[in-house]
């Protein structure tokens, strides 16, 4: 059984490097099996022909062995299935035709030529395999059925001629029936998969809506309970309030568990394709961590000189990827001084399509031993990467990279961890000469002006729910100078253009204009004024990817409902400082 397992492993050596959604995924195993089997047979018969002194046959077998080996090596390197399968089919058919026309086949051996469709149709499919099988039938049929007319010097018995024709026809028809069944099964499976995806998406959207609807009143309950608990209560009243607070906290945990097990599709958000500067995008992302122990976190950033142009695509998704990677790495690094290196370089360029490699690495990861165990346990490359992504909580980054048709690689040594991914973009506009990127880049400091204390701050609350407005006003009235209210994103932009605010508290789901779009417009306005107003997302969206989407849109921090008012005040103080 171990011998059979080794053969199977040998034949599936390339399948873990090819997307399982690829239509040729299952045929790659067939190509590998045919190639390895052919090499073995060519080697055996080559040695036999050399021993018997048949040098012509030995030369042909040796040449075919080399060509088959080269074709297999190129396939393992480039994974171009169509090209490699065509080459293999052509080599096989030419060799078999040569055997017939050179008189190397005996009377009984000609029957085995009837199984040629089993090679071509299984390997190439009906569309390409049927014409190849018919061409081979004509070429081989001339030698088998009409040898006297063409004076080949080798005649086959009538029985073997009839067997050749019948078996060839039966094999041809059977393989077409088999391929039809396979195509029908695959089509049914794809329909079932799509149906399951739609059903899962509907359930996830339902969970997302329910989570949002529960969190808003639950947050009000938490805040009001805390406010009442701080007032003068007798012992019986305090006991009742404590019971309410304990039950509320339990309900908070239930809602948080719903958010954790739900995996709302990250790919539902629209693409905001535009020309963008990859250096600025990465630096702005890193800058979000400037207030979190910035003296202990270093982000060496290197961008190759040949990226002297903008990229055309969605910079928000790139931000989301790096936010997820950086946060997860920081969560799993040693205490003290930390360094996360980022390296970006161009791999190739063709017809305005550029292939960019992104690398994020650290020497401070605490999970090196666990990752090493995964590499020893998992047999396939895909399995290893999937397990590492799950362990390090890179799920968001992995999904977005997959949605952009990117490739992921992981390199690990005893003292270094590197996560690499490659994404193709359209080449955008070129930079002016003075904007050419330097090879080594340093993190810029964003000047947000003088720090403002919380009690002297002017706050803009962007919230459409009247009850939520009252709750936040009630919670903050003693802590800040003033709070203005905008009922939606459009009102927020109007107020932002006429009043100087020190900090903005932004809801996400609002009518007319949501919080994500509003934040992007505010950041675009600030570009012309060289200012920066801290924005904190206060939202009932707390599912996978929501935080990353908020930060990638330009927000400075994020807090999900329900929350403790002390947590919000602490975040506001951090941003104002």
The reply to whether 182 falls in a domain is yes
Residues 130 and 236 placed together within one structural domain of the fold:
no
Residues 404 and 343 in one domain: yes
Per the structure, the count of domains in the chain is 4
Boundary residue ending a domain (171, 194, 217): 194
What CATH number is given to the structural domain containing 477?
3.40.50.2300
8 with 98, same domain: the answer is yes
- 97 phi, psi to nearest 5 deg: -65, -40
Residue 252 forms part of a structural domain: yes
Burial-class residue 538 by CB neighbours within 10 Å (0-12, 13-18, 19+): buried
Domain identity same for 210 and 159: no
Residues 442-490 pLDDT 10s: 444 444 556 778 888 899 999 888 877 887 888 888 888 889 999 999 9
Provide the domain limits for residue 102.
Answer: 2-194
The answer to whether residue 168 is domain-embedded is yes
pLDDT band at 275 (very low <50, low <70, confident <90, very high): confident
Are 472 and 567 in the same domain? Answer: yes
- Look at residue 394 in the predicted model and tell me its pLDDT: 85
pLDDT band at 245 (very low <50, low <70, confident <90, very high): low
Q: Is residue 449 part of a domain?
A: no
Residue 280 predicted with pLDDT over 70? yes
Question: Of 339, 365, 361, which is closest to residue 421 (Cα–Cα)?
Answer: 361
pLDDT above 60 (res 259) = no
155 and 21 in one domain? Answer: yes
Residue 77 lies in a domain: yes
Helix residue ranges, H only, 378-488: 381-391, 395-403, 466-476
pLDDT tens digits along 44-96: 989 998 998 888 889 999 999 999 999 888 887 777 778 888 899 999 999 98
Does residue 114 share a domain with residue 36?
yes
Domain boundary (237, 267, 297) is at: 267
Question: Which residues 6+ apart lie within 8 Å of 6 measured at CB?
Answer: none
Are 428 and 288 within one domain? Answer: yes
Q: Any residues with CB less than 8 A from the CB of 544 and at least 6 apart, and which?
A: 259, 262, 263, 264, 266, 395, 396
175-189, 280-294, 491-505, range with the lowest pLDDT? 280-294
Q: What is the pLDDT of residue 438?
A: 41
Mean pLDDT of 503-524: 89
Tell me which of 235, 267, 299 is where a domain ends.
267
pLDDT greater than 80 at residue 365 = yes
Give 503's pLDDT tier (boundaries 50, 70, 90): very high
For residues 176 and 322, membership in a common domain is answered with no
286/259 same-domain check:
no
Give residue-wise pLDDT tens across range 525-538: 888 778 889 999 88
| Residue 285 within any structural domain of the chain | yes
Residues 179 and 227 in one domain: no
pLDDT at residue 551 greater than cutoff 90: no
pLDDT in tens, 553-567: 888 888 877 677 788
Higher local confidence (pLDDT), 324 or 292: 324
Confidence of residue 311 (pLDDT cuts 50, 70, 90): confident
pLDDT score for 294 = 53
CATH number at residue 376: 3.30.565.10
Give the torsion sign (CA, 63, 68, 74, 77): negative
* Residue 488 domain flag: yes
Residues 262 and 185 in one domain: no
- Within a domain: residue 448? no
pLDDT digits over 191-239, tens only? 888 888 888 777 777 776 676 667 667 767 777 776 776 667 776 676 6
What are the residues whose beta carbons fall under 8 Å from the beta carbon of 177, sequence distance 6 or more? none
pLDDT of amino acid 445: 45
């Amino acid at each position: 059984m171990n011998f059979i397992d080794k053969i199977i492993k040998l034949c599936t050596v390339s399948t873990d490097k090819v997307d399982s959604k690829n239509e040729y995924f299952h045929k790659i195993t067939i190509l590998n099996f045919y190639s390895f089997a052919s090499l073995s047979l060519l080697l055996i018969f080559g040695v036999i022909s050399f021993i018997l002194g048949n040098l012509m046959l030995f030369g042909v077998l040796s040449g075919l062995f080399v060509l088959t080996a080269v074709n297999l090596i190129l396939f393992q390197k480039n994974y171009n299935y169509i090209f490699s399968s065509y080459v293999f089919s052509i080599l096989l058919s030419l060799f078999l035709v040569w055997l017939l026309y050179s008189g190397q086949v005996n009377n009984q051996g000609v029957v085995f030529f009837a199984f040629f469709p089993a090679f071509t149709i299984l390997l190439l499919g009906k569309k390409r395999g049927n014409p190849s099988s018919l061409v081979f039938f004509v070429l081989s049929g001339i030698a088998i059925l009409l040898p006297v007319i063409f004076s080949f010097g080798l005649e086959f018995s009538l029985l073997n001629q009839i067997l050749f024709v019948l078996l060839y026809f039966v094999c041809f028809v059977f393989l077409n029936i088999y391929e039809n069944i396979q195509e029908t099964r695959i089509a049914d499976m794809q329909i079932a998969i799509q149906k399951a995806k739609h059903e899962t998406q509907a359930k996830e959207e339902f969970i997302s809506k329910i989570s949002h609807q529960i969190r808003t009143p639950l947050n009000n309950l938490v805040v009001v309970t805390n406010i009442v608990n701080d007032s003068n209560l007798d012992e019986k009243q305090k006991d009742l309030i404590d019971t309410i607070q304990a039950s509320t906290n339990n309900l908070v945990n239930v809602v948080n568990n719903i958010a954790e097990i739900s995996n709302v599709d990250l790919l539902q958000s629209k693409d905001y394709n535009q020309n963008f500067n990859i250096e600025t995008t990465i630096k702005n992302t890193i800058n979000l961590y400037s207030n979190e122990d910035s003296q202990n976190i270093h982000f060496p950033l290197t961008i190759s000189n040949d990226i002297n142009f903008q990229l055309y695509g969605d910079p928000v998704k790139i931000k989301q990827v790096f936010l997820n990677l950086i946060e997860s790495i920081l969560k799993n690094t040693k205490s003290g001084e930390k360094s996360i290196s980022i390296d970006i370089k161009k791999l190739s360029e063709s017809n305005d399509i550029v292939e960019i490699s992104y690398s994020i690495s650290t020497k401070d990861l605490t999970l090196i031993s666990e990752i090493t165990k995964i590499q020893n346990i998992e047999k396939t490359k895909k399995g290893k990467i999937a397990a590492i992504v799950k362990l390090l909580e890179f799920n968001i980054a992995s999904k977005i990279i997959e949605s952009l048709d990117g490739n992921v690689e992981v390199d690990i040594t005893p003292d270094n961890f590197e996560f690499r991914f490659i994404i193709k973009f359209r080449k955008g506009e070129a930079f002016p000469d003075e904007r050419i990127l330097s090879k080594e880049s340093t993190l810029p400091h964003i000047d947000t002006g003088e720090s403002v204390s919380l009690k002297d701050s002017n706050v803009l609350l962007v919230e459409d729910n009247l009850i939520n407005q009252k709750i936040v006003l009630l919670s903050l009235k003693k802590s800040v100078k003033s709070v203005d209210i905008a009922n939606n994103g459009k009102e927020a932009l109007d107020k932002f253009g006429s009043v100087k605010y020190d900090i903005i508290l932004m809801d996400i789901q609002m009518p007319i204009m949501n919080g994500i779009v509003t934040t992007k417009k505010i950041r675009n306005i600030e570009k012309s004024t060289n200012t920066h107003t801290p924005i904190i997302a206060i939202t009932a969206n707390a599912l996978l990817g929501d935080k990353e989407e908020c930060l990638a849109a330009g927000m400075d921090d994020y807090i999900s409902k329900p929350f403790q008012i002390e947590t919000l005040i602490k975040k506001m103080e951090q941003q104002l400082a």
